[in-house]
Amino acid sequence: MADEKSPQPRMRDAAQERVLQTARSARERTREIKCAALDMPWARCAPARFARETILSGFFGPAMAWYVRRRIEGREVFDELKPPVIFVANHSSHMDTPTILRSLPRAWRQRTAVAAAADYFYRKRWVAAAVSLLFATVPISRRGGGMDKGAADHLHRLLRQRWNLLLYPEGTRTRDGSRGKLHSGAAVLAAEHDVPILPIYVAGTREAMPPGRNWPKRLTAGRIRRQPICVRFGPPIRALPGEHRNETMARVQAWFDAQGGIVPTAGPPPAPRVPASAEERRMAAAGLH
């Protein structure tokens, strides 16, 4: 029979494990705090905003129109809304960000920053600079709990400067079209700054540019066509007095759940072509039809 471990070695092993856990926790906290240090404020200056608008309108606009047919719903919400707001969107494709930005009114688009995963977009400085310029990104942790100990100082500063913030609270792109649990960071920021959360539901981008692709696709089912996509803006959702952040996000989640049946068509299908009669052809030739 094997000898059982004596109490002293067991206590020593437990102590070593506690030390390792403390070290891992310290490393994680350090990475969280560095999120704010990774931010590139120069990407929000006037020349950068001008360059970004030129790229979004002059390049992404025509390029996206070649690959997709876009429909926008609910944009009238901006008629009664004042910045700043926190945009919260579902996430299924790298195409979501340019699609949403292009769907915003210009004045709103030029004052909207996009939260980007620090561990994905900010590992290389040149990539971080590129996405910061193209989309006015700001680094954020996607592990959850990244609103403490100075990790979100740059986000608070943005909202105080009346910048809007676009968040993807699922933390990552969906691979199968389902929606994941929403992290509560948006509710924390909204309550602290007394700003509304504006939900945005995007449909069709995963089919146009699924995870794993670096560019949209246009060939579908053996024939060339543009993928229909839809961007729907929901009603503003405000944190209620005394409401827990999870309760606020539950209301946001309920709105997203109600959008599940959205079909990203780009308008009614064209009527079938019916051959014209001889009389109709005669009237058309005479300019009477």
Point out which residues pair with 232 in neighbouring strands. 73, 201
pLDDT band at 218 (very low <50, low <70, confident <90, very high): low
pLDDT in tens, 73-108: 999 999 999 999 999 999 888 889 999 999 999 999
Q: Which of 209, 33, 55, 205 is nearest to 130 (CA)?
A: 55
pLDDT at residue 250, rounded to an integer? 92
pLDDT at residue 10, rounded to an integer? 66
Both tokens of residue 86?
A: 């926190």
DSSP state letter for 171: S
Helix (DSSP H) and strand (DSSP E) numbers for the chain: 12, 9
* Torsion over CA: 206, 104, 228, 252 (sign): positive
Percent of residues, the chain, with pLDDT higher than 70: 69
Instruction: Identify the residue whose tokens are 């100082």.
Output: 153
Distances (CA, A) of 51 to 47, 59, 71, 100: 6, 11, 26, 18
Helix (H) or strand (E) holding 33: helix 7-37
pLDDT in tens, 178-198: 566 778 889 999 999 999 999
pLDDT band at 167 (very low <50, low <70, confident <90, very high): very high
DSSP state letter for 146: T
Rounded Cα–Cα distance for residues 84 and 231 (Å): 20
Percent of residues, the chain, with pLDDT higher than 90: 44
Rounded Cα–Cα distance for residues 179 and 258 (Å): 12
- Whether 170 has a pLDDT exceeding 60, the answer reads yes
Both tokens of residue 114?
A: 């996009």
Mean per-residue pLDDT of the chain: 79
The greatest distance separating any two alpha carbons of the chain, rounded to the nearest whole angstrom, comes to 107
Rounded Cα–Cα distance for residues 82 and 125 (Å): 34
Cα radius of gyration rounded to whole Å, the chain: 25
pLDDT at residue 6, rounded to an integer? 62
pLDDT band at 287 (very low <50, low <70, confident <90, very high): very low
pTM as predicted: 0.75
- Whether 214 has a pLDDT exceeding 70, the answer reads yes
- Whether 154 has a pLDDT exceeding 80, the answer reads yes
Among 14-23, 31-40, 79-88, name the one with the lowest average pLDDT.
14-23
**What is the rounded average pLDDT of the residues 263-279?**
46
Of 89-98, 128-137, 221-230, the range with the highest mean pLDDT is 128-137
**What is the rounded average pLDDT of the residues 27-56?**
81
- Whether 282 has a pLDDT exceeding 60, the answer reads no
Point out which residues pair with 167 in neighbouring strands. 88
185 compared with 221, residue with greater pLDDT? 185
